[in-house]
Amino acid sequence: MSNYNLNSLSNNNNNRKSAKQEQQLYQHLQDLARQQNPEESIGNFRVLFIDASGYFIPEIWQAMETIIDADPDEEEFHNIINRSCYILINCWLQNPQLQKSIPELVNIFQEKPNKLPSCWTSQRVRTLIRSFTETEKYVALQRLAKMFIRETQENIKIVDRKLEKLIDRYPYLYEHCFLNDESTDEEQQEIKMMRLKKQQKYEINLSKYITYQKLPRKSNSVENPTLMRDEELNQAVKYFTTKVHGRQTIRNQAQQFKTYCDLTCSYRNFKDGLYEYLTDTIDPGYSKRQFNRKLYHKLQNTWSDNNTQKPNDSLILGTCQKMLDFLVVESLEQPKHFIFYDLINNLGATIVIGMLLKIVLFCHQAKPYLEQKFSILFNHYQGATTGKVWWLVKSMETLNVAFSTNLGGINRCCF
């Protein structure tokens, strides 16, 4: 079981009067996670935080009173609640049979207390709990919980499910959807480990499928691990791993362009080269309309004061991020993505994701930024049924294939 580092949780609390009591609370919750079954732990968690009265261990309730008497602001107490949840969640993540308890824990924040508040501390805890449910921290917990909710009807069609139900399919979204600026090192480590396991499982299944496609047909076929049709998946794998238009693989193109970047003497030349690199495989019939002109204009107006400088790593990364803003989605505050939507509908997911892959292959530091772009789109449409945003589902499925075949652990011999 993961050893939740309680000392690290209180590092930021040492300047507060209640630091000792917070540590006591965290230790108690860890004891619950180790010694009780999830149902009992959730029941006690509910009494402590939702009812906020009549707790079965007086010393723990006294610790809660001290924490409240120290008059923490909302954000401070929200951090305490969030960490308290993760102490239980991190324990249950280690055992697949216990993971179903995660949604149950997160959902108790939607329940009403069983009785009237017994004191001022009880009233204050309840008020802070209500405000916690309106925070991004709680939204992140809800996203995580939805990964472990099993559909009651297995025959529900994918197109009729809400997009948010598919988040477990996209490991590259985990850190951006489940973590926030206040997440502890332990929380980050748990989510990264969950991402790694999911990614490895996907790559194993994808490599089996790719290998099977090269063998004579057998009665027991290997299941397609994506939501793409077999012909779509085969086309995507071929595009991402073999020579594009009979010339070079995308990986080789990226290496060649990286060499060009190392040798180019000016930022202006780098931007000209980047334009040619990105548009090289775009259908001329589409590019001759407005896209190429807009892309070229965007590049030429990006940090033009640096045009005579030799491009350094920081300038190259920043430019790639600007391109991802332009090609995918502008920002969290301004989630404009018409260009991406238009590209997908006119060129298809494979070509468009291939263009994005070219960016992260020559500038690996841009990969987390690309993942963040897709998390913005996912969160923007999470309440929609997948059938209404199938263009986005297909894009995310294709990005999974692109990452796995070029940046993952699949043996190149499979191709």
More confident call, 48 vs 181: 48
* Average pLDDT score, the chain: 91
> What per-residue confidence (pLDDT) applies to 154?
52
pLDDT band at 413 (very low <50, low <70, confident <90, very high): low
Joined together, the tokens standing for residue 414 give 């499979």
Give the pLDDT confidence score for residue 4 in this predicted structure: 44
pLDDT above 70: percentage of residues in the chain: 93
Task: Check if the beta carbon of residue 42 is closer than 8 Å to that of residue 101.
Answer: yes
Confidence of residue 213 (pLDDT cuts 50, 70, 90): confident
In angstroms, rounded to a whole number, what is the distance separating the alpha carbons of residues 109 and 200? 33
Please give the average per-residue pLDDT across 209-224, as a whole number: 78
Type of residue numbered 180? N
pLDDT at residue 17, as a whole number: 76
Q: How far apart are the first and last CA of the chain?
A: 38
- pLDDT one-digit tens code per residue, 254-285: 999 999 999 998 999 999 999 999 999 888 88
Domain ranges of the chain: 6-150, 198-414
Of the given ranges (32-41, 104-113, 252-261, 285-294), which has the lowest mean pLDDT? 285-294
**Which candidate, 124, 115, 135, 136, places its Cα nearest to that of 54?**
115
pLDDT single digits (tens) 104-130 = 999 999 999 988 888 999 999 999 999
> What is the pLDDT confidence band of residue 218, given thresholds at 50, 70 and 90?
low
pLDDT band, very low/low/confident/very high, at 194 (cuts 50, 70, 90): very high
Task: Copy the structure tokens of residue 197.
Answer: 């396991």
Q: Which two tokens stand for residue 46?
A: 């509910």
- Given a contact cutoff of 8 angstroms between Cβ atoms, the answer to whether 106 and 85 are in contact is yes
Structure tokens at 63: 């610790």
The label of the residue with tokens 């020559």 reads 362
pLDDT band at 5 (very low <50, low <70, confident <90, very high): very low
Statement: residue 171 has pLDDT above 70: yes
